[in-house]
Chain A
């Protein structure tokens, strides 16, 4: 049996561990266009100087030997040949497979901006280790006291965290009216905006960049939609990522936003699987397929793909969006649906706040479907548990936001089942 995996990150690693559990002999070949494996979310910690180059990994140093895999680094896959079951590399070589797993992740969305060229110096994206390296190199050669970040979502805020640690002031520009718009509401965003101001930085909402001005091919300023000009010699573009579908364009593999996969992480083509940020799998809350580009989802999907690739029938039961982000010293955790349509009477919103913390719970038909926790993250995972278990909270929802929130707030039979249950998977 020959297994080929494209991309070597968290989805791939989790799949490999499972495949080897059941097949110690099959050949595993991994192809990655990067020159190393590292934990992608740690690039902001690396940029900030909080994690060194040698600590940015997330697997054992002898992983490749231990799991007996062959990794082709700095090797670009050009195309998947779904008829002849092989992949074609950029150097025209081909590798055949019995089973293929596609984990090509996401790639940054780069908007068309007047004056912005592919090679404009001082303009960066922020999704790869090499991006962090390039930013650090640029900072060594140039005095950057202020930078603009286009996009106040997860990646923009991660870049912000890294740069603020380097004492660079920021202007963060976003089309929406708040930071982390996918998961935060306006109130939650305010806690971060206040912190930004303390660091002589600013959030510019409901705005975007319409023009980049350069001198000798190096950025000197940006112009906003409202015509305001901001002088800067650094711009980070972080308006989002999209599934990296380049290698399957013009193949018969079905896609929507990402590669469509069933509960076995299988594509519409037998023996071809996809997992992680590139895959569009089941969303537990909406019961549709969506791309949920977060680490735990990639890990879980990688595992499920691994099982099915070796013929074990394991189903992915769907996850939902969630994130834990500590920005500007404020820890925050969010789950699921955080900005429900308030006109829809199925929803009910509970919240509690003071100047230091904010907690919001979203109920739909008496079940928790979302939460935002700002600066008050203790025992957060229990909210995730009751979302996943679809626990009816109508009898005790008043206790969900109390300081002593925990298992004692939950019905006794529910709590006993979980606390004494073994090997439960949540």
Chain B
């Protein structure tokens, strides 16, 4: 299985990964349209950290023994046949068990709508996830693991 690997030394903090993640998961998949219209702007599946000159972008690690799927009370958080951790908004009740157990803190809550707001789906259906494809400095790369 392919996994996203990040290299904080190479990250220049441009946040293009976030921009592309958001537009990829919007209805239009168009950057301009996505960022102009507030209805069509999903939350990015990337957590971006910044402290002085050190920056890095982190997304779901799709853990082998995924604590989020084990803790989920509804099985909204589940693994598909390709071992990718996915989230089903329909089933989610916003109990935040996944946020409690995710050791990477990459699951974001939508407190208003009581649902997990975003969760990396490895750009399912695409050969290369957009954050990897658009990272200008190979801080986010795809590796066979």
Contacts and interface: CB of A to CB of B under 8 A. Distances in A.
Is B a genuine binding partner of A?
yes
Nearest to B47: A406
B100 A295 contact: no
B74 A58 contact: yes
B28 interface: no
A407 B70 contact: no
A110 interface: no
B63 A425 contact: yes
Given A51-B93, A425-B63, A418 B103 contact: yes
A426 B103 contact: yes
B70 A299 contact: yes
A14 B70 CA distance: 9
A50 interface: yes
B58 interface: yes
Contacts of B74: 39, 42, 55, 58
B63 A423 contact: yes
Contacts of A411: none
A381 interface: yes
Interface size of A as a range: 35 or more
Given A41-B73, A296-B70, A381 B49 contact: no
Contacts of A408: 49-51, 54, 56
A377 interface: yes
Interface string A112-136: 0000000000000000000000000
B99 A407 contact: no
Interface stretch (B18-26, B29-37, B104-112, B122-130): B104-112
Question: Which of B61, B100, B102 has the most CB atoms of chain A within a 10 A radius of its CB?
Answer: B100
A45 interface: yes
B103 A381 contact: yes
B71 A296 contact: yes
A296 B75 contact: no
B65 to A, nearest CB: 4
Contacts of A378: 99, 105, 108-109
Nearest to A381: B102
Interface string B84-120: 0000000101111101111111011101001000000
Contacts of A423: 63-65
Given A406-B105, A420-B5, A425 B65 contact: yes
Contacts of A425: 63-65, 67
Contacts of B3: 422
Given A14-B70, A407-B58, A425-B65, A333 B104 contact: no
Contacts of B67: 296, 381, 425-426
B142 interface: no
A381 B63 contact: no
Contact of A419 (B58, B100, B114): B58
Interface stretch (A211-219, A281-289, A318-326, A346-354): A318-326
B12 interface: no
B95 A381 contact: no
A381 B99 contact: yes
A245 to B, nearest CB: 25
Interface of B: 3, 5-6, 8, 47, 49-51, 54, 56, 58, 61, 63-65, 67, 70-75, 91, 93-97, 99-105, 107-109, 111, 114, 145
11 contacts: A39-B74, A45-B93, A296-B70, A300-B70, A322-B101, A408-B54, A416-B8, A419-B8, A423-B64, A424-B63, A425-B67
Given A295-B73, A380-B99, 9 more contacts: A55-B74, A58-B74, A322-B100, A381-B100, A381-B102, A408-B51, A419-B61, A423-B63, A423-B65
